[in-house]
């Protein structure tokens, strides 16, 4: 014979279920450490960056890219033009508008900030391959549900290793040859590693950042 339930007994049952579930829920700090130790964190980060390119601002970093005729003759700008990445169109006021060439269009992307700033033009020159991950620590020196990671740049196009590009943009030589430690830490949230706020800029020792500036 079934025993009838009352609102009070249903509430007690719900409360007991929540207590049991809370007791079974994994501690996020401990789960993060398990994933770092068994390689799941490394796999997650590698998969994240597999489909994402490493890109950096180009010249004025804003569209349209317009410069004086004298500035266009600087080695940095000439390196981009001579490698077939940009082409110049003279304007009536004596300036030159630079645009990606058809054959190089796939190496460029436009970044929209969404805060009213002009659209930025970026040149994509590699992809991050995560080499190792390790635990971040909290204020007490204990492992936290965050991790640090290091990476190397791979899938580099030939033009990025061109001698003229290396001379004009010194960051390339170091960025393409060193293991780089990311500036940001990655938090473990809701059962996964949250990479929604990963920092796209590479910062090398000596406060050197990536960018194809004139």
Separation of CA 90 from chain center: 35
45 secondary structure, DSSP code: H
Domain boundaries in the chain?
47-209
Burial label for 192, CB within 10 Å (0-12, 13-18, 19+), is exposed
**pLDDT tens string 183-200:** 889 999 988 999 988 888
What is the Cα–Cα distance from 39 to 193, expressed in whole angstroms?
13
Q: Supply the pTM of this predicted model.
A: 0.81
**pLDDT tens string 32-86:** 999 999 999 999 999 999 989 999 999 988 888 999 999 999 999 999 999 999 9
């Amino acid at each position: 014979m079934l025993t009838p339930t009352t609102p009070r007994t249903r509430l007690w049952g719900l409360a007991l279920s929540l207590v049991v579930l809370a007791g079974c829920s994994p501690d996020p700090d401990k789960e993060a450490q398990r994933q770092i130790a068994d390689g799941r964190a490394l796999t997650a980060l590698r998969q994240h960056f597999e489909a994402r390119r490493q890109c950096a601002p180009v010249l004025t970093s804003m569209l349209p890219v317009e410069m004086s005729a004298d500035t266009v003759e600087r080695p940095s700008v000439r390196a981009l033009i001579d490698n077939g990445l940009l082409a110049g169109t003279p304007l009536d006021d004596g300036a030159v508008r630079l645009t990606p060439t058809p054959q190089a269009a796939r190496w460029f992307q436009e970044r929209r900030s969404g805060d009213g700033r002009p659209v930025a033009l970026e040149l994509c020159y590699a992809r991050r391959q995560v080499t190792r991950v390790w635990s971040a620590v909290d204020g007490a020196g204990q492992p936290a549900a965050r991790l640090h990671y290091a990476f190397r740049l791979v899938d580099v196009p030939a033009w990025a290793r061109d001698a003229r590009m290396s001379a004009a943009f010194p960051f390339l030589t170091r960025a393409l040859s060193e293991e780089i430690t990311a500036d940001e830490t990655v938090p473990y949230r809701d059962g996964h590693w949250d990479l929604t706020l990963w920092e796209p800029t590479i910062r090398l020792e000596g406060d050197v950042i990536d960018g194809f500036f004139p």
